[in-house]
Amino acid sequence: MEENMFDKIVLARSSCTRFRRHGDEGGTGTGTNSDPSVVKACLELLDLARRAPSGFNAQPYKVVLVSTPEAKEKLAKYCIGRNADRVRDSDCTAVFLADKECGRDGARFGAFIRDTYKQRKASRAKTLNDEPEVSNSGNEESVPTLSKFAEWKVRILVMLFSSGYPLPRVISSPISFCVRLGVATVSAFTRRKILVPSLSGAETWATKNTSLVAMTYMLGASSRGLASCPMEGFNAGGMRKMLRIPRRYSICLIVSTGKPYVRVDDIKEDDVGMSHGVENGKSTTSRYPSEQVIFENYFSR
């Protein structure tokens, strides 16, 4: 990999305020067709973005990629202001969903971690040129399996940290509140002599994990010369109905992706007066001075 390649990718990423419509070099057309090559690239990037870390590898998220003219137009109706234009003009928009009830997939997650354990054991044995271990059944091709205790330990920890209990919301919400209150009370009364984790609500936990995937996706788009724009100005209720999203998922953000529409005399400020764009391979958007944000060893004002 080229030295400092990651630096270039990060510095080149910016929020694109205007996208170039596919087949419309002049920027005056009205078509909303998508470039198939861009949509294909975005699907590949989303697949790669799944490599982003998540708590206990629970992967509490889903993504809907909207790319057809009809679907983009319907989605745009629930976006506020110029966000609607960005959805229409871009080649596709990724809708990132956070799973607030990932505990409902306990059986699937259990099978997933068992399979992962087997694959890792088999891979390690092959790397070390070890002979496959023989199971009680005498099958030489078998490998050690994850114990039931270890599997349930992970599943319980996922439910504890995620608050995604596999129960109706009217029951799971009070349980989540009581568990978090109990943990916080233990920490306060023992003056942190008994260390317990600081737990968050189901939506907060799922959103944190989903945001890692979204950021990985946007950096991937930047690496392939594509522009992206993360947005939260939308009506979640209408968007949920349009995309047929179950209530267990919250819509964290949407990310429109495509090729930027740039003119030499183009105004660089968006509809709220913020500057965006890329010049000489670097984003024109400023940031606070690093010394006001990054501290060593202790927090400082």
SS3 for 236-297, per residue? Answer: HHHHHHHHCCCCCEEEEEEEEEECECCCCCCCCECCCCCECCEECCEECCCCCCHHHCCCCC
Structure confidence by residue, pLDDT tens digits, 128-157? 765 555 455 455 455 567 899 999 999 999
Structure confidence by residue, pLDDT tens digits, 93-141? 999 999 999 999 999 999 999 999 988 888 877 777 655 554 554 554 5
Structure confidence by residue, pLDDT tens digits, 23-48? 765 444 455 789 999 999 999 999 99
Q: How far from each other are the two terminal CA atoms of the chain, in whole angstroms?
A: 38
Name the nearest CA neighbour of 144 among 124, 122, 126, 128. 122
CB 44, CB 113: distance < 8 Å? no
Tokens of 281: 């391979």
State residue 266's pLDDT score.
56
What radius of gyration do the chain's Cα atoms show?
23
Tokens of 139: 């099958």
Across the chain, which distance is largest between two alpha carbons, in Å? Answer: 75
Structure confidence by residue, pLDDT tens digits, 155-188? 999 999 999 998 888 999 999 999 999 999 999 9
Cα separations in angstroms, 12 against 78, 89, 261, 279: 29, 21, 16, 9
Tokens of 19: 């996208």
Name the nearest CA neighbour of 95 among 69, 59, 58, 67. 67
Cα separations in angstroms, 270 against 29, 78, 147, 208, 257: 20, 20, 56, 28, 17
Tokens of 289: 């001075």
Across the range 188-201, mean pLDDT stands at 94
The pTM score is 0.87
Among the residue ranges 152-156, 187-191, 267-271, the one predicted with the least confidence is 267-271
DSSP string for residues in 100-162 = TTGGGGHHHHHHHHHHHHHHHHHHHHHHTTPPPPP-TT--TT------HHHHHHHHHHHHHHH
| Rounded Cα distance, 87 and 236, in Å | 15
Name the nearest CA neighbour of 76 among 269, 238, 214. 238
CB 233, CB 78: distance < 8 Å? no
| Rounded Cα distance, 205 and 12, in Å | 29
Compute the CA torsion angle 211, 66, 232, 288 (nearest 10 deg). Answer: 60
Tokens of 129: 């040129």
Tokens of 291: 């010394």
Tokens of 8: 């270039």
